[in-house]
Amino acid sequence: MVASSSLRFDLKSYLKERQRQVEAALNAILPPQDPPLIYESMRYSLLAEGKRLRPILCLASCELAGGTAAIALPTACALEMVHTMSLIHDDLPSMDNDDFRRGRPTNHKVYGEDIAILAGDALLTYAFEAIARHTPEVPADRVLKVIAALARAVGAEGLVGGQVVDLQSEGRDDVNLETLHYIHTHKTGALLEVSVVSGAILAGASEELQEQLRTYAQKIGLAFQVIDDILDITATAEELGKTAGKDLAAKKATYPSLLGLDASREYADQLITEAKAAIAAFGAEADPLRAIADYITARKH
Amino acid sequence: MVASSSLRFDLKSYLKERQRQVEAALNAILPPQDPPLIYESMRYSLLAEGKRLRPILCLASCELAGGTAAIALPTACALEMVHTMSLIHDDLPSMDNDDFRRGRPTNHKVYGEDIAILAGDALLTYAFEAIARHTPEVPADRVLKVIAALARAVGAEGLVGGQVVDLQSEGRDDVNLETLHYIHTHKTGALLEVSVVSGAILAGASEELQEQLRTYAQKIGLAFQVIDDILDITATAEELGKTAGKDLAAKKATYPSLLGLDASREYADQLITEAKAAIAAFGAEADPLRAIADYITARKH
């Protein structure tokens, strides 16, 4: 399926161009300011190398729904800010205690725990400011919907809730598939889902289209996490840009540990098939989303 | 001045009634949910005894500007959520390392550092969701303005920026009045300012009225902090509900340490006079804001 999509659509060039666009926007929307230390810390993590998957999904979804990438760019930046905040806080000593991220020392290793916590707080806050202040082309009621949806995806009903259950599950050997599913649909899935759905809302998509895109996003979100679990076992630290084999060392419940490696790979493939089925009604305008779905199962890091 | 205001206006009853109203709204807008631990932690700090000064200022300002308290109540709750988040994160071991707050063990002493950080993140996020989702009576463009103003007051240009400079100033003996002023106008002042201004925006106040109220808020915000510094020296831990004498022990720059105790008290009085002058054009409808200004210099904790 990778091959057939690639015949029509050059994903590599598309992602490269979009990454460039998103990174230019991130750099512009959060320039160095006073007090210098906090902006350095925010920019250190925000501008570190990354796939920019969430912003790219938002832009692609907005375009599929008839909007322009330009109207979704501040929201796309906000999604990357929220994602970066979650990485900075997750890496803290009292959480996952990680020293490396995106191939570099984690934020608190460079700036200290206090500044890392505050940089996360400031990025989270600025995400909402960026959307509220920089989306004047879109009717205000739609922008409010995007803010409400993003907040729900990030808070105790979403990402934070997933992280809490993840922390509570650590070191326990009775974590079942249901709990693992909860953790991932909240910790990773919710933000990927709102990345896609927010683009559609900004474009003024119908409820029906929003639901199709939501299904697509839920499927690729879960597949993304299954692949992440697989890569933690099969990839090297160099490929990942972060510590490998952490889940095994921590005896963490993962899809491979509960389902086995082969069944996990099949599960991921099935989810990607279902994701593409959800947007099957569309023509070439959905090629970016199809190719991104394929890319998720094909990725090596 | 306390007496002359009190003749016309019963501040004690007013504050008691408003505290009751705000606390009922906080309890309703953030009920216990799954996963239980994070909601317990959020509610532990949010519903702990507090003056509710920021929400009350927001409601009073909205009414002065011709709106109802009802339309400002979700924003009022959001202000208390943001304030609570800042207390939870400030109290962390890597920041101010406080064991007691509002007369009870701090959040991380009860729930652990990891959950305390996440409870702060979730409260900060939910603040924006509460405003975006629960203010349907107000035109969406005004609600967006409130969200943008709140975010700016909380982020690296506001509260977080003030906290960063405060952390950087710790243990230094060369902190001057200018730096102290920066710290307080950002760490405490920005949120008090947006508390007042957001109520006015929701009510559709003119730019002129917004500016009058902004001046009022800036003056009482600074006075609040000067009094806080004075109370740290003169009040007991029991009165404060938190550790007393911390500033002295930490050799922290404060208004009393830079200006002396008497001059600090005079400065606070002068700020309150200026705050009331900014709203002198109003009649009895501004009595709550006048009485709150007096209350700030009169408070014992």
Q: Is the confidence at residue A6, as pLDDT, over 50?
A: no
CATH superfamily assigned to domain B10-296: Farnesyl Diphosphate Synthase (1.10.600.10)
Mean pLDDT (chain A) is 92
Quick check: helix, strand or coil at residue B101? strand
pLDDT band at A250 (very low <50, low <70, confident <90, very high): low
From B280, B276, B254, select the one nearest B265 (Cα to Cα). B254
| Chain A residues close to B148, C-beta within 8 Å | 129, 132-133
Instruction: Name residue, tokens 């920005």.
Output: B190
Q: Distance between CA B129 and CA A87 in Å, rounded? A: 21
Residue of B nearest to A95 (CA): B114
Interface contact B47, partner A, CB < 8 A: no
Q: What is the pLDDT of residue A68?
A: 98
Interface contact B117, partner A, CB < 8 A: yes
Q: Is the confidence at residue A177, as pLDDT, over 80?
A: yes
Interface test mutation site (partner B, options A75, A98, A114, max chain B beta carbons within 10 A): A114
Q: Distance between CA B15 and CA B10 in Å, rounded? A: 9
- CA angle A289/A295/A301 to nearest 5° reads 135
Q: Distance between CA B198 and CA B177 in Å, rounded? A: 29
**Single-letter amino acid code for the residue at B187:** K
Using CB atoms, pick whichever of B125, B154, B168 lies closest to residue A37. Answer: B168
Per-residue pLDDT tens for B203-256?
999 999 999 999 999 999 999 999 999 998 887 656 666 666 667 666 778 999
Which residues of A make up each annotated binding site for Mg(2+)?
90, 96, 98, 229
Interface contact A29, partner B, CB < 8 A: no
- The mean per-residue pLDDT over the stretch B250-273 comes to 90
Per-residue pLDDT tens for B125-165?
999 999 999 999 999 999 999 999 999 999 999 999 999 99
Q: Please name the residues in contact with A124: beta carbons below 8 A apart, sequence gap of 6 or more.
A: A81, A82, A85, A154, B121, B124, B125
The one-character DSSP state at A102 is T
Q: Which residues pair with A101 in a beta bridge?
A: A104
Q: Do B95 and A117 touch (CB under 8 A)?
A: yes
The secondary structure of chain A in percent helix, strand, coil, rounded to multiples of 5, reads 75, 0, 25
Quick check: helix, strand or coil at residue A100? strand
The one-character DSSP state at B104 is E
Q: Distance between CA A140 and CA B147 in Å, rounded? A: 12
Q: Do B132 and A151 touch (CB under 8 A)?
A: yes
pLDDT band at A5 (very low <50, low <70, confident <90, very high): very low
Q: Is the confidence at residue A57, as pLDDT, over 70?
A: yes
Q: Is the confidence at residue A252, as pLDDT, over 70?
A: yes
Q: What is the pLDDT of residue B168?
A: 94
| Chain A residues close to B95, C-beta within 8 Å | 114, 117
Write out the DSSP string of B143-200. Answer: HHHHHHHHHHHHSTTTHHHHHHHHHHHTT-S---HHHHHHHHIIIIIHHHHHHHHHHH
Interface contact B32, partner A, CB < 8 A: no
Q: Which residues pair with A72 in a beta bridge?
A: none
Q: Do B129 and A117 touch (CB under 8 A)?
A: no
Q: Are strands B100-101 and B104-105 parallel, antiparallel or unpaired?
A: antiparallel
Among A100-114, A259-273, B52-66, B250-264, the range scoring the smallest mean pLDDT is: B250-264
- The mean per-residue pLDDT over the stretch A3-27 comes to 85
Instruction: Name residue, tokens 């599929």.
Output: A64
| Chain A residues close to B92, C-beta within 8 Å | 114, 117
Which residues of A make up each annotated binding site?
90, 96, 98, 229
ipTM metric = 0.93
Q: What is the pLDDT of residue A299?
A: 73
Q: What is the pLDDT of residue B56?
A: 98
Residue bearing the bigger pLDDT, A280 or B2: A280
From A225, A223, A231, A226, select the one nearest A274 (Cα to Cα). A223
Residue bearing the bigger pLDDT, A243 or B99: B99
Q: Is the confidence at residue A4, as pLDDT, over 90?
A: no
